[in-house]
Amino acid sequence: MYLAIATRTINNHRHSLKLIVQEKTKVNKDRFNRENRLDYFEFDECNSKHFFDPDTQTVYMEITSEEHQKKRKK
Protein backbone atom coordinates (compact mmCIF):
# COMPACT_ATOMS: atom_id res chain seq x y z
CA MET A 1 0.00 0.00 0.00
CA TYR A 2 1.27 3.47 -0.87
CA LEU A 3 0.59 7.04 0.09
CA ALA A 4 0.60 9.27 -3.02
CA ILE A 5 1.73 12.89 -2.65
CA ALA A 6 1.49 15.57 -5.34
CA THR A 7 0.91 19.31 -5.62
CA ARG A 8 -2.37 20.40 -7.14
CA THR A 9 -4.02 23.71 -7.94
CA ILE A 10 -7.28 24.77 -6.34
CA ASN A 11 -9.00 23.26 -9.41
CA ASN A 12 -7.19 19.93 -8.83
CA HIS A 13 -4.86 20.34 -11.82
CA ARG A 14 -1.16 19.52 -11.69
CA HIS A 15 0.74 22.56 -10.43
CA SER A 16 3.18 23.66 -13.13
CA LEU A 17 5.62 25.45 -10.81
CA LYS A 18 5.59 23.37 -7.61
CA LEU A 19 6.92 19.89 -7.02
CA ILE A 20 7.26 17.52 -4.07
CA VAL A 21 10.24 15.16 -4.06
CA GLN A 22 11.46 12.53 -1.65
CA GLU A 23 13.64 13.27 1.33
CA LYS A 24 17.36 13.07 0.42
CA THR A 25 16.74 13.87 -3.26
CA LYS A 26 19.84 15.42 -4.83
CA VAL A 27 20.16 17.77 -7.80
CA ASN A 28 22.82 17.20 -10.44
CA LYS A 29 23.88 20.79 -11.08
CA ASP A 30 25.64 19.80 -14.32
CA ARG A 31 22.30 18.72 -15.78
CA PHE A 32 20.19 21.49 -14.21
CA ASN A 33 18.02 23.38 -16.69
CA ARG A 34 15.32 25.99 -16.72
CA GLU A 35 13.10 24.10 -19.13
CA ASN A 36 10.97 22.45 -16.44
CA ARG A 37 12.52 19.02 -17.18
CA LEU A 38 13.08 16.71 -14.24
CA ASP A 39 16.06 14.67 -15.41
CA TYR A 40 18.47 16.48 -13.08
CA PHE A 41 17.09 14.85 -9.93
CA GLU A 42 19.01 11.97 -8.38
CA PHE A 43 17.24 9.55 -6.04
CA ASP A 44 20.18 7.28 -5.15
CA GLU A 45 20.11 8.15 -1.43
CA CYS A 46 16.31 8.06 -1.08
CA ASN A 47 14.36 5.39 0.72
CA SER A 48 14.04 2.46 -1.71
CA LYS A 49 10.43 1.91 -0.61
CA HIS A 50 9.49 5.37 -1.90
CA PHE A 51 9.63 6.48 -5.50
CA PHE A 52 8.97 9.49 -7.71
CA ASP A 53 6.94 9.20 -10.92
CA PRO A 54 8.12 12.00 -13.22
CA ASP A 55 5.15 11.56 -15.59
CA THR A 56 2.56 12.33 -12.90
CA GLN A 57 4.99 14.29 -10.67
CA THR A 58 3.83 12.17 -7.74
CA VAL A 59 5.83 10.72 -4.84
CA TYR A 60 4.68 7.29 -3.70
CA MET A 61 5.62 6.30 -0.16
CA GLU A 62 5.10 2.74 0.99
CA ILE A 63 3.08 2.54 4.20
CA THR A 64 2.89 -0.33 6.64
CA SER A 65 -0.32 -1.93 7.88
CA GLU A 66 0.27 -0.28 11.24
CA GLU A 67 0.68 3.18 9.65
CA HIS A 68 -2.48 2.59 7.61
CA GLN A 69 -4.45 1.51 10.67
CA LYS A 70 -3.24 4.52 12.70
CA LYS A 71 -3.69 6.82 9.66
CA ARG A 72 -0.26 8.27 10.35
CA LYS A 73 2.90 8.01 8.22
CA LYS A 74 6.16 7.99 10.18
Residue 11 has pLDDT above 90, yes or no: yes
CA 19-16-42 angle, 5° bins: 35
Find all residues with CB under 8 Å of 28, minimum gap 6, and list them. Answer: 40, 41, 42
**Domain spans, the chain:** 1-74
* Mean pLDDT computed over every residue of the chain: 86
Q: Give me the residues paired with residue 50 across strands.
A: 61
For 21-40, what is the mean pLDDT? 81
pLDDT digits (tens, 9 = 90+) for 39-60: 788 889 988 888 888 888 889 9
Q: What are phi and psi of 58, to 5 degrees?
A: -120, 140
Residue 73 confidence class, pLDDT cut points 50, 70, 90: confident
